[in-house]
Amino acid sequence: MAASFKLDLTQRPRRLRRTGSIRALVEETVLRPADFIAPLFVVEGKAAPEEIKSMPGVFRLSIPSLVKECRELWKLGVPAVDLFGKVEAGVKDDAGTVAMGADSLMARAIRAVKKAVPEMTVISDIALDPYTAHGHDGVLTDDGSDVHNDRTIELLIQMAVEHARAGADMVAPSDMMDGRVGAIRAGLDAAGFEHVGILAYSVKFASGYYGPFRDAVGAAKLGQKTGPADKKTYQLNPANRREALIEAALDEAEGADILMVKPAGLYLDIIRDVRDRTDKPVAAYQISGEYSQIHAAARMGWLDLARCRHESLLAIKRAGADMILTYFAKDMAKVLKA
């Protein structure tokens, strides 16, 4: 082609990509440390942090280590943590009763973090799967064939009130029982915790990407002893888009303060759908499997960890998430704050 060839173009979009400073001026989506919620795993005792084999760089933390981690996150500009408990198999039962009471692991962890970093937003997981012998998110029906919706909610209300009493700023029901947001809202209000928010796992799919998380909290393998072999009777079918919007609308009507989509990166279309249909804040959870597969590919030399980490989170925010739960929170905050 002749060197003198030139198209007669008025519009040349590449003009806005020519230099780094121009690209910065027109950048539409920006990540900040304040966009992130760090999920953290807490265990009994005072042992040193224990790295989770399936989640490189993520640790189970004793309460003293948890407090230290929260202080570091706060200094980096991460405003919130979501706490998950991990207990030994020997203390579990079919009703998850070890999760209840003012002296439960989670209640003590919440109190410790709020005492050490009172400005930090502490969110607590409201579900029974880390504490039940069968690994499900609630109590089973009498014949053991399914999770009993209403009996489970009765326990979740108790759990939410105990966490609020310990100082949780928000509770995050992740169980996907019908009606639990409204019931928890009523329970919190009746106990005098009108100020405690609900970050609802409104759209939680029955994903195959939860494996590392279940390892992290020591959840029992489903169907090994009793109960269904999967969670498909309460978590959403990954094939269903309209059903996801029904669930989000129900949680909003029942009083959820924030609506969450989980997983995040695999369901960007759902994040956008929810964002377009609500004025409530929208959260998205970049789950353990998403995190671990990026790490695994990077370790094999197939992906650049830093670039793919950033791109994956940028996509979630671009899709419409106001906040992102991610195990990359600390590392990303360090990069963004530098």
Helices (H), 85-210: 105-116, 149-166, 180-190
* DSSP letters for 160-185: HHHHHHHT-SEEEE-S--TTHHHHHH
Per the DSSP assignment, residues forming a β-bridge with 96 are: none
Instruction: Look at residue 322 and tell me whether its pLDDT is greater than 90.
Output: yes
Model confidence band, residue 227 (pLDDT cutoffs 50, 70, 90): confident
Each residue's pLDDT tens digit, 87-122: 999 999 999 999 999 999 999 999 999 999 999 999
Looking at every residue in the chain, the average pLDDT score rounds to: 96
Q: Is the pLDDT of residue 1 over 70?
A: no
Beta strands in 13-52 (DSSP E): 36-43, 50-51
CA distances from 49 to 53, 69, 176, 213 (A): 12, 10, 31, 16
Query: What pTM, to 2 d.p., does this model score?
Result: 0.95
Q: Which pLDDT tens digit goes with each residue over 199-213? A: 999 999 999 999 999
Mean pLDDT of 155-166: 98
Q: How does pLDDT run across 76-87, given as a tens digit for each residue?
A: 999 999 999 999
212 cis-preceded (ω within 30 degrees of 0): no
| CA distances from residue 288 to 93, 262, 328 in whole angstroms, order as listed | 25, 11, 10
Residue 323: phi, psi to the nearest 5? -150, 150
State the average pLDDT over residues 54-61: 96
Would you state the pLDDT for residue 220?
80
Clarify whether 262 is annotated catalytic. yes
b/e per residue 151-182 (b: at least 16 CB within 10 A): bbbebbbbbbbbbbbbbbbbbbbbbbbeebbb
Domain residues of the chain, as ranges? 31-337
| pLDDT of the residue at 35 | 98
**pLDDT tens-digit series, residues 270-299:** 999 999 999 999 999 999 999 999 999 999
The structure tokens listed for 163 are 């966490």
Q: Any idea how long the chain is?
A: 338
338 — pLDDT class (breaks 50, 70, 90): confident
CA dist 129 to 25, 163, 317, Å? Answer: 46, 17, 29
Task: Give the active site residue among 204, 231, 280, 330.
Answer: 204
226 against 233, higher pLDDT: 233
**Torsion region of 258: left, alpha or beta (phi above 0 gives left; psi -120 to 50 gives alpha):** beta
Asked if pLDDT for residue 225 goes beyond 90, the answer is no
Residues whose CB falls within 8 Å of the CB of residue 90, separated by 6 or more in sequence, listed in order: none
CA angle, 155 then 156 then 161, to 5°: 100
Mean pLDDT value of segment 134-162: 95
- Predicted confidence at residue 24, as pLDDT, reads 95
Which amino acid appears at position 157 of this protein? I
When pLDDT is cut at 50, 70 and 90, the band that residue 194 belongs to is very high
Question: Is position 231 annotated as part of the catalytic site?
Answer: no
Q: 31-337 in CATH: which number?
A: 3.20.20.70
CB 167 within 8 A of CB 110: yes
- Check if the beta carbon of residue 200 is closer than 8 Å to that of residue 172: yes
* pLDDT for the residue numbered 221: 85
Residue 198 has pLDDT above 80, yes or no: yes
The catalytic position among 92, 231, 262, 330 is 262
**pLDDT at position 151 over 60:** yes
pLDDT at 226: 78
- Band of residue 2 on the pLDDT scale cut at 50, 70, 90: low
Q: Kindly report the CA angle at 105 between 102 and 109, in degrees rounded to 5?
A: 90
